[in-house]
Amino acid sequence: MQKAQQTGDQESEQKTQPVSLQHRHFIARRRDGDHVGKKIQRQIDRYRTETLDQSLNTSLDITVRPSDQARPLSDLSGKQIGWSIYYFEHWLYQKPMAVQVGVDDEVTILHLGRYVPVTDYLRCLPQVTNTTFENGDSSRKHELQWQWWKTNSKIFPFEKLPSEVRDRIFGFTFGAVIEPYPTHRARRGAGTMFKREKHVINLLLLNKELGNAASKILFLYKTFYVAHLPIANRLLRNFSQGSNLRHLELALSHNGFLKLFGWKFGDVHTFTASRFVGALHTMELHRLAIDIAPPSLTTESPWFDGVCQKIVAGWILEAAWPWVRGHPVEVTGYVKSFQKQAFEARAVAERQQIENWKVCGRELGLGEGTMQEYYEELDEEEGGVSLDGAGGGKPNGSLAVDVPSYPPNCYCLPLCTVGTWDADA
CA distance 217 to 95: 53
d(CA 392, CA 382): 7
Q: Is 240 within 8 Å of 218 (Cβ atoms)?
A: no
Going 200 to 201 to 206 to 208, the CA torsion angle's sign is positive
The predicted pLDDT at position 189 comes to: 41
d(CA 275, CA 321): 16
Buried b (16+ CB within 10 A) or exposed e, 186-200: bbebbebbbbbeeeb
Number of CB atoms found within 10 A of residue 343's CB: 25
Secondary element (H or E) of residue 94 = strand 94-101
Residues 6+ apart with CB under 8 A from 9: none
Distance CA 335, CA 293 (A): 9
Question: CA 203, CA 185: separation in Å to the nearest integer?
Answer: 18
* 94-101 vs 114-117, strand pairing mode: unpaired
Provide the pLDDT for residue 241. Answer: 58
* pLDDT tens over the chain, length 425 residues: 434 344 444 444 444 344 444 444 444 444 557 999 999 999 998 898 888 788 888 899 999 999 988 999 988 888 899 999 999 999 888 999 999 998 888 999 999 999 999 999 999 999 888 777 666 666 667 777 777 777 766 677 788 889 899 888 888 888 788 887 655 444 444 444 445 444 566 777 778 888 888 888 888 888 999 999 999 998 888 766 557 789 999 999 998 999 999 988 777 778 899 999 988 888 889 999 999 999 877 776 777 777 888 988 999 999 999 999 889 999 999 999 999 999 999 999 998 988 888 888 888 877 777 777 877 777 666 655 443 444 433 444 566 666 656 677 787 888 888 888 888 88
What's this model's pTM, rounded to 2 decimal places?
A: 0.61
Question: Which residues contact residue 25 at a Cβ distance below 8 angstroms, ignoring those fewer than 6 apart?
Answer: none
Measured in whole angstroms, how far is the alpha carbon of residue 162 from the centre of its chain?
22
Residue (of 113, 106, 82, 84) closest to 7 by Cα position:
84
- Return the H-helix or E-strand segment holding 170: helix 163-174
pLDDT, position 139? 66
